[in-house]
Amino acid sequence: MYVRQIGPRVIVQTPAKLNLLLEVLARRADGYHELETVMQAISPCDTLEFAPTAGTEITLACRWGWGLVSQGGEASAFGDLPVAEKNIVWRAVAKLRERAGITRGAAISLVKRIPSAAGLGGASSDAAAALMAANLGWRLGFSREQLAALAAEIGSDVPFFLTGGAAICRGRGERIEPLSRSVRLAAVVVRPPVGLATPEVFRHCRPADEPVPAAPLCRALATGQVAEVGKNLHNRLEEFAARLTPWIGRLRNEFARQGTLGHQMTGSGSSYFGLCHSARQARRVASRLRARRIGVVFAATSAITNNHLE
């Protein structure tokens, strides 16, 4: 997350994420699943602008970024764009305001470049950006811990985006342990024309009989061995998502021919990514896959951060 403050306005570039590893450990009594997942913040970023207003209303203007529109054609090709109260951004800001016990208003604008229903964390990232921006813009002075607790109430992936970088996440996904030293990663991501709803994928999944440990992947990240990172990718949800849409199998076949270091679905899908040894290779693979007309294709790299709460 990259945060700038210009007078009372706060502008946040907030990234997507990839799940380099996602293991489902158990089904919980509260309906959630106990996870161990390694997440990496990546480009592209959504842009959220927050401006305090004199009134009491919270307004949200939201649109898709041109890059996505030019590739995806119809907006429905890369996801819904919920308005006002239906948008997680609006709800996050309203919740923070309620918790702070104030009634101040805000005008928020959001440009989305991260496709939705994609396993890329777009909505969660926007919610984290909104919390960060409102905390600064309204000068609320909430601590990192307070914001993280609020973030976890909004969604399991939201706390990760307050930290960014690479992290191992446990519990529902809301318990974050940042991975201190991480290697710069390049990837190609494809969001097929069909999205997947997270609850639906989790409903169909079964916890692992023999969980894949995260340690080898974390070691590879810490020592900068990108090829080893590629060999240790894992996503337990992929086999279950593949039963819900033929796109996962199709993307697996497409990536198998591209010579990447490793490839898999991210999060609960429907996006699929290949890890590359360089940004150059990622751009090359992206242009080959674009010609295949399999959805929105982009080359990504690990995202930068200047998180104000560090």
Q: Least distance (Å) from ligand C5P to the CB of residue 106?
A: 23
**The one segment of 5-13, 131-139, 149-157, 180-188 that binds ligand C5P by CB under 6 A:** 149-157
Site size with ligand C5P, rule: CB under 6 A: 11
> Is 2 an interacting residue with respect to ligand C5P (CB under 6 A)?
no
Query: Is residue 32 involved in binding ligand C5P (CB under 6 A)?
Result: yes
Residue 267 in contact with ligand C5P, rule: CB under 6 A? no
Q: How far is the CB of 150 from ligand C5P (least distance, A)?
A: 13
CB 14 within 8 A of CB 125: yes
| DSSP string across 73-132 | -SGGGT-----GGGSHHHHHHHHHHHHHT---EEEEEEEE-SPSSSSS-HHHHHHHHHHH
End-to-end CA distance of the chain: 11
Active site residue 112: no
- Cα–Cα distance measured from residue 270 to residue 260, given in angstroms and rounded to the nearest whole number: 19
Question: Does 153 interact with ligand C5P (rule: CB under 6 A)?
Answer: no
DSSP SS3 for 296: strand
Could you say which residues in the range 71-130 bind ligand C5P, by CB under 6 A? none
CB-CB neighbours of 286 under 10 Å: 20
Contact assessment for residue 45 and residue 2, using Cβ atoms and an 8 Å cutoff: yes
What binding mask, one character per residue, do residues 167-186 give for ligand C5P by CB under 6 A, x or -? -----xx-------------
> Catalytic annotation on 30?
no
Q: Which is nearer to ligand C5P, 197 or 256 (CB)?
A: 197
Amino acid, res. 295 = G
CA distances, 165 to each of 184, 213, 304, 306 (Å): 10, 20, 7, 10
Examine residue 199 and tell whether it contacts ligand C5P (CB under 6 A). yes
* Contact between residue 158 and residue 124 where contact means Cβ atoms under 8 Å apart: yes
Q: Contact between 230 and ligand C5P (CB under 6 A)?
A: no
Which residue of 9, 105, 202, 308 would you call a contact of ligand C5P, by CB under 6 A? 202
Among the listed ranges 27-35, 42-50, 58-66, 245-253, the one in contact with ligand C5P (CB under 6 A) is 27-35
Closer CB to ligand C5P, residue 198 or residue 258? 198
- By CB under 6 A, is residue 156 in contact with ligand C5P? yes
Query: Interacting stretch for ligand C5P, rule CB under 6 A, among 41-49, 154-162, 228-236, 286-294?
Result: 154-162
Of 46, 157, 209, 231, which one is the catalytic site residue?
157
275 phi, psi to nearest 5 deg? -90, 135
User: Is there a contact between 150 and 135 (Cβ–Cβ < 8 Å)?
Assistant: no
Active site amino acids: 17, 157
Which residues of this chain interact with ligand C5P, rule CB under 6 A?
32-33, 35, 155-157, 172-173, 198-199, 202
